[in-house]
Amino acid sequence: MAKILFIVGSLRAKSFNRQLANAAKAIIGNRAEVAELDYSDLPLLNQDIEQPEPAAVARIRQTITDADALWIFTPEYNLSYPGHVKNLLDWMSRPVKPLDYATPTCINGKKVAVSGAGGKFATANSRAKLSELLTFIKADLLPEQTGVAVNPEAWATDVLTLTDEQKAELTAQAEALMKALAVS
């Protein structure tokens, strides 16, 4: 069974992106094993501590290596993705063998889907910049993306309600990911 690792870019327990990830998980159902990456203990990237790798880095690298695909759900902070998401991807783009830049990293060639829920621009800037980074670090970025502009009521209630159009967009993205993983 295919393994999909969700990376939620908002640390907030009731975040709209976590709710969007839960909606995606429901769409996928039992066609794939879905887990959410816990990267809350990941230190800031610092070459002074890069080798030997910290335990959190080793655990996360192994979790990403074991996944068949990643699906990143990102908010938009000041026209970009959150710093902790950048830190995670920076760590994952570093060579596993010290100073051996010729070998693949744990994210090199990994299928990655990107979605986001946020303000009126539906995380367009965040997703574009994240796509640029993922392409640069040689992830296999899927072209389908879902951007959700959160409705005004949700900001007061902390409840993300997807429109039929947003549900259809998320479903199409999930189906594209399943197809990329050769899962029906």
Dist CA 21 CA 131 (whole Å): 18
pLDDT digits (tens, 9 = 90+) for 91-136: 999 987 777 878 889 999 999 999 999 999 999 999 999 999 999 9
Q: Following CA atoms 63, 170, 134, 100 in sequence, which dihedral angle do they give, to the nearest 10 degrees? A: 20
pLDDT digits (tens, 9 = 90+) for 33-80: 999 999 999 999 999 999 889 999 999 999 999 999 999 999 999 999
Of the pLDDT bands very low, low, confident and very high (cuts 50, 70, 90), residue 184 is low
Dist CA 161 CA 46 (whole Å): 39
Question: Is residue 68 classed as helix, strand or coil in its secondary structure?
Answer: coil
The domains of the chain, with CATH numbers, are: 3-180 (3.40.50.360)
